[in-house]
Amino acid sequence: MTKFSAFLGCLVLTAVQGIAAQTASTQPQIDSNWLTVDSSSKTATFQLTSGLTQLNGGLNFNGFNDGKLTLTVPAGWNVVIRFKNQDPNLTHSAEVVDTAKPMPAGPVDPPAFPHAMSGRLMQGLASGDSDTIKFVANKAGSYMIFCGVPGHGLAGMWLRLTVSPAEKRPTLTTT
């Protein structure tokens, strides 16, 4: 191996390591304040913020898109989603929809659980507005927390919701 090819090898390795470090540092992180659990009342409270970062042009929840964040709750638990639109440019909404159907282009009627939607599903909430969504996760399965403003969900603005008969405590994980 010549000195030049050794130099090129080191240069490439350094560049790859730099890209990997940059990618790792820009990955969104879970904030422990997003999920609070009250085991006595079997209630999971999730802070859901649209447009938290500029990822995906602001089409994200809590800085995640395309299902890369999963909220898991035990079957039968109460779920409270405190939804806030922090996106300064776009309106957003939130609705729990079933993943057994094709991804919708806009709001779904009815949602996967009664009352599992914010107000103004199609129009969305303006920047700074908030809403509270409350429902009972009484059907085990896989769901999406989905922005119902037409086109937003299809563009990647959704998270995963798993209702599990086996889990004993709600969790929030990256996927």
Q: Is the pLDDT of residue 17 over 70?
A: no
- Alpha-carbon gap, residue 20 to 11, rounded angstroms: 14
pLDDT confidence of residue 127? 98
Percent of the chain with pLDDT over 70: 85
Q: Is the pLDDT of residue 25 over 50?
A: no
Global pTM? Answer: 0.85
Q: Is the pLDDT of residue 60 over 70?
A: yes
pLDDT confidence of residue 37? 98
pLDDT confidence of residue 28? 83
User: Model confidence at 144, in pLDDT bands (50, 70, 90)?
Assistant: very high
pLDDT confidence of residue 100? 79
Beta-sheet strands, E only, within the chain: 35-38, 43-50, 69-74, 78-85, 95-98, 130-136, 141-146, 158-164, 171-174
CA dist 157 → 29, 59, 66, 167 (Å): 17, 5, 6, 26
Residues 142/67, Cβ–Cβ less than 8 Å: no
Please provide the distance, in angstroms rounded to a whole number, between the alpha carbons at the two ends of the chain. 42
**Helix H segments across the chain?**
3-26
Fold of 31-174: Immunoglobulin-like (2.60.40)
- Report, as an integer, the average pLDDT of 106-133: 97
Task: Look over the chain and give the mean of its residue pLDDT values, rounded to a whole number.
Answer: 88
User: Model confidence at 101, in pLDDT bands (50, 70, 90)?
Assistant: confident
CA dist 21 → 31, 152, 170 (Å): 21, 30, 31
pLDDT confidence of residue 26? 60
* Residue 36 or 14, more confident: 36
Distance of alpha carbon 131 from its chain centroid, rounded?
A: 16
Q: Is the pLDDT of residue 87 over 50?
A: yes
